[in-house]
Amino acid sequence: MEDSPKIAPQGLQASITAGLGTFATASCMKWLPAEHAQYWVSATTLLVPVIGYLVAKFFYSIDEPEGLTQYKARLKRDMASQKKIMKDKNVSEDVKKNVREKYTSTMLKLASANQDYTAQGVVAD
């Protein structure tokens, strides 16, 4: 399946651009001398949309679907309990061997969780 490329949502991009633009323009007007302020206000109107786009794209790229986050959390909990079992001295070596195999399998699932996840959920092998 081919996933669509992540594109920053326009509402988020517009909000970031408006906020940055207002802040940058006000900063130019307040802290710069009058003879330089107009130049920097003009430069700000050109630079802020680009910066806003990059910031929105960054926020969108770190956004993760809730199902994927929950799946990764379950795998991490499984690995933590499997580690405890492997360190326990009261558990037989036969059980530890089986748990090591499960631990390896869980680690591989966690490593490929982003690849295995689709809009419908996790694709099982």
Per-residue model confidence as pLDDT tens digits over 46-80: 888 888 888 888 887 777 788 888 889 999 999 99
The DSSP letter of residue 8 is -
In the chain, domain spans: 10-62, 66-122
Residue whose C-alpha is closest to residue 25's, from 41, 14, 39, 37 = 41
**Predicted local distance difference test score (pLDDT) of residue 36:** 82
* Stretch 84-102: mean pLDDT: 93
CA distance linking residue 81 with residue 95, whole number of Å: 14
pLDDT averaged over every residue in the chain: 83
Q: What pTM was estimated for this model as a whole? A: 0.53
Tens of pLDDT, residues 8-17: 566 777 888 8
The DSSP letter of residue 111 is H
**Predicted local distance difference test score (pLDDT) of residue 8:** 53
Query: What tokens does 120 get?
Result: 């419908």
Q: Identity (one letter) of the amino acid at 88?
A: D
CA distance linking residue 111 with residue 125, whole number of Å: 14
